[in-house]
Chain A
Amino acid sequence: KAGVTQTPRYLIKTRGQQVTLSCSPISGHRSVSWYQQTPGQGLQFLFEYFSETQRNKGNFPGRFSGRQFSNSRSEMNVSTLELGDSALYLCASSPRTSGGHTDTQYFGPGTRLTVL
C-alpha cells in the first residue's frame, strides 16, 4: 500500500498570504489528522477529519481550517499567514476501524512552510 502523501513538500510564502496544503491518506483510511511541529512548541494537534466531518480541533486560531473530501483526501488552509506559522505540517491517517486507542496513526513526510 502506498503511504500517506503530502503536497507540496516545501513552501515559501510571505506574511498576509494564504496557503493550502494537501494530504492523501493511505487507501482505506477514513481518518485524517493534521499537526503543526515547531522547535519551540513541539508537535501540536490541529484537527481531525473523519468521513468528511471535523471530529476534533486543537487550540489554534480560526485562520487554520481544513476539510475532507469523499475520497478521504484532506486539505488544510491557513489564511493571513504570520511569521509564527513557519513550521512542519504533518498529516496522519488511521483506519479508525476499531474506533479506539488501538488505532495507529501513520504520518506523511510533511510540508515545510516558511513564512517570510
Chain B
Amino acid sequence: AQKITQTQPGMFVQEKEAVTLDCTYDTSDQSYGLFWYKQPSSGEMIFLIYQGSYDEQNATEGRYSLNFQKARKSANLVISASQLGDSAMYFCAMSTESGGGSYIPTFGRGTSLIVHP
C-alpha cells in the first residue's frame, strides 16, 4: 500500500525566511510522481510542484523547490523567502498506478504553516 507521512502538524516561520516542510513516502513501485499542494483557508487545493521518480534534478518552481532524496524516500518542500500569503495547509501527495490505467494520488495529513510578520 502507498503511504505518505507528514510528521509536522504545524510550522511557524518568520516572514522572508526559508522553511522546509517534511514528507516521506512508502511505495514498492519504481515509477511514481510526487506532488505538493497548498490549501488556504478558502479550501481550494493549489498545485505547487511535481517531481517524477526518475527525475535526477530537484524540481523548482519560483520560490518552491522539492528536495528529493530517493534512497531515503523523502520529498521535502522548501519555500524560500516566506511571505504572509504562504500561510496555509500544505499537502504532500504521491501518484502511483491504481489499476486500470488509473493513477490516484495518496495524500498526507498535511502541515499547517503560519508565517509571522
Chain A positions within 8 Å of B, measured between CB atoms, are: 33, 42-43, 45, 48, 50, 55-56, 88, 90, 92, 99-110, 112
Q: Are B97 and A56 in contact (CB under 8 A)?
A: no
Q: Are B45 and A107 in contact (CB under 8 A)?
A: yes
Chain B interface main SS type: strand
Binds A, one of B17-25, B29-37, B67-75: B29-37
Q: Mark B59-86, 1 if CB is under 8 A from A, else 0.
A: 0000000000000000000000000000
**Beyond the given A42-B108, A104-B47, A105-B35, could you list 11 further A-B residue pairs with CB under 8 A, ordered by the A residue number?**
A42-B107, A48-B102, A100-B33, A100-B103, A101-B96, A102-B52, A105-B47, A107-B44, A107-B46, A108-B44, A109-B43
Name which residue of chain B comes closest to A42, CB basis.
B109
User: In whole angstroms, what is the CA distance A48 to B97 when docked?
Assistant: 13
The 7 closest A-B pairs by CB, nearest first: A101-B33, A107-B45, A101-B95, A56-B102, A43-B107, A109-B44, A110-B43
**Which chain A residues border B102 with CB–CB below 8 Å?**
48, 50, 55-56
Report the interface size class on chain B.
20 to 34
User: In whole angstroms, what is the CA distance A109 to B33 when docked?
Assistant: 23
Chain B min CB distance to A61 (Å):
19
User: In whole angstroms, what is the CA distance A50 to B46 when docked?
Assistant: 22
A-B contact pairs, 27 of them (CB 8 A): A33-B104, A42-B107, A42-B109, A42-B110, A45-B104, A55-B100, A55-B101, A55-B102, A56-B100, A88-B43, A90-B43, A90-B45, A100-B103, A101-B31, A101-B52, A101-B95, A102-B33, A102-B50, A103-B33, A103-B95, A104-B50, A105-B105, A107-B37, A108-B44, A109-B42, A109-B43, A110-B43
